[in-house]
Amino acid sequence: MADDAKRPDDDHDGESLGSRRPDAPPTSRFGRLARLGALSTRALPIATEAVRRATLGRRRDEQEELEAQRRTIDNAKKTAKAMLKTLGEMKGLPLKLGQMASYIDGLAPPGYEEKFQQVLKKLQAKAPPLSRQAAVKMVTKELGPPEEIFATWEADPFAAASIGQVHHATTKSGDRVAVKVQYPDIDKAIENDLKSLSMFETMIAPIGRRYHSRETIDEIKAVFLAELDYRREADNAEAFRKMHAGDDEIVVPKTWSAFSSRRVLTAELIEGVDYATFSTTATQEERSRAAQTIWRFMFRALFKHGWLYADPHPGNYRFLGGGKVAFLDYGCVKVLPPPLLAGMKRYLTAAMDERWDDFERACVEVLGYDDSDPASFKMCVDYTKLMIESLTRDGNYRHTHATARESIAFLVRGSKELMKPKEGDLLPSLPGPVRMPQDFTFINRLQWGLASVMAGIGGEANFRTIAEPWIRGPRIEIS
């Protein structure tokens, strides 16, 4: 990390190179784009091969095909390792995207998912941390010297992620706690990442306007900037504790407001088994019970109270036995507008009752699908049915990696078919516009991420019966 401080492209806006801390991630927009640009050149051969195979199929010469596969797999391994290093050092939104690629089935290049995910899974639990001094400086600035605030303080972090790293500590009353400390200047880095997204959105206009790209990026900005405020995260945790009060299998860690601030969050230390270990060692009964607990946590909050837990990242779970699961992170949370929640319930209940005319009407009026383009409309409707099957099927359902991967593959196949040039045209066709509500952006993230997390667990249950009372019931405010 010290070598990075010598690169002039990492000097952030309005700040001299000499004043930049050597333990801070690169923050300037140019520096961060340059890092990602260098990374993209590694991915280009893999993307090129994927496009070639999608359009032309396998090579006729078997030896040539085997050699091409060998080269691409080798490139996939090298690219994944480069991503691990670059995204780990950059932190912020690029690291979040790397973490998503590490567990959401279908995001890695088709045919090379396992190679990518094996490497990138290291980003889930412990991304490269910053120095000891970085955390001490931040805690001292926000609260005071950690050795004075806490009875014990462990200088080396035990976990590190996209915007902060986590240290063990003990309060003077004897409570063991986890102290999450925000990286220096990570707010500037994320703001510049978001500016880059806005620049990209401007570049693709007016095509992007057909699909509400500006609204989507505005939503991403709002949610990710809110995630920088740890005081808000503590309030979110308290709200989720109230929502699930009385459900002994859902554990929401207690937070300490006296030892927390905008950039430091102190919470109850939860031990337990991590996601990767649980997914490989638990019995089928344990998997199914844990899967039902996760389902209750997600959908009681969403359908009963209108609160979306939008970060189903595998590192956010600890499995405590007997179906008990602890949920650790409450930064990426969104409260849905009541009309949107009512609209979601409308198309879900229509699907449950097999009222397909009402379902399609709700897809138009709630989700913004364009029924004037029959082919595009059919693809969108069929995709929605696929995504909600685990909520609407009245019977045993098993989450698998194949079904999770299909949620993205379905869109890729359908869009490719819709974009074929019409007879006599040279340019590809554009599917009918989809104008989803801006507030729906992170529901898509939950759908893809949760499907993959549940696939890793492999639980079986009638998941519809768990969520149906909340879907058909009223919204209840949390006071």
* Closest-CA residue to 142 (of 92, 182, 186): 182
Give pLDDT, residue 133.
85
Q: Which residue has the higher pLDDT, 394 or 370?
A: 394
pLDDT at 20 over 60: no
Give pLDDT, residue 207.
43
Mean pLDDT in residue range 464-468:
98
* Last residue within a domain, chosen from 125, 142, 169: 125
- Contact of 301 with 310, CB cutoff 8 Å: no
Asked which of 109-113, 340-344, 384-388, 422-426 is least confident by mean pLDDT, the reply is 109-113
- The verdict on residue 32 lying in a domain is yes
Residues 6+ apart with CB under 8 A from 355: none
Mean pLDDT in residue range 341-356:
98
- The verdict on residue 6 lying in a domain is yes
DSSP state of 474: -
Q: How much is the mean pLDDT over the chain? A: 78
Dist CA 107 CA 187 (whole Å): 26
pLDDT in tens, 76-131: 556 556 655 555 555 555 556 656 665 566 555 555 566 556 655 555 555 556 67
3-state SS assignment for residue 396: coil
Main-chain phi, psi angles of 202, to 5 degrees: -65, -35
- The verdict on residue 45 lying in a domain is yes
Dist CA 474 CA 330 (whole Å): 24
| Structural domain count of the chain | 2
Per-residue confidence at 11, pLDDT binned at 50, 70, 90?
A: very low
Chain length of the chain: 479
What is the extent of the structural domain holding 286?
274-479
- The verdict on residue 200 lying in a domain is no
Give pLDDT, residue 227.
86
Percent of the chain with pLDDT over 70: 65
- The verdict on residue 425 lying in a domain is yes
State which of 24-38, 60-74, 154-168, 295-309 shows the largest mean pLDDT: 295-309
Q: What is the dihedral of CA 169, 237, 334, 93, to 10 degrees?
A: 10
* Last residue within a domain, chosen from 101, 125, 149: 125
- The verdict on residue 59 lying in a domain is yes
- The verdict on residue 411 lying in a domain is yes
* Last residue within a domain, chosen from 125, 147, 176: 125
Cross-strand pairs, 307: 335
Give, for 43, the enclosing helix (H) or strand (E): helix 29-56
pLDDT in tens, 142-179: 999 999 999 999 999 988 777 888 999 999 999 999 99
- The verdict on residue 201 lying in a domain is no
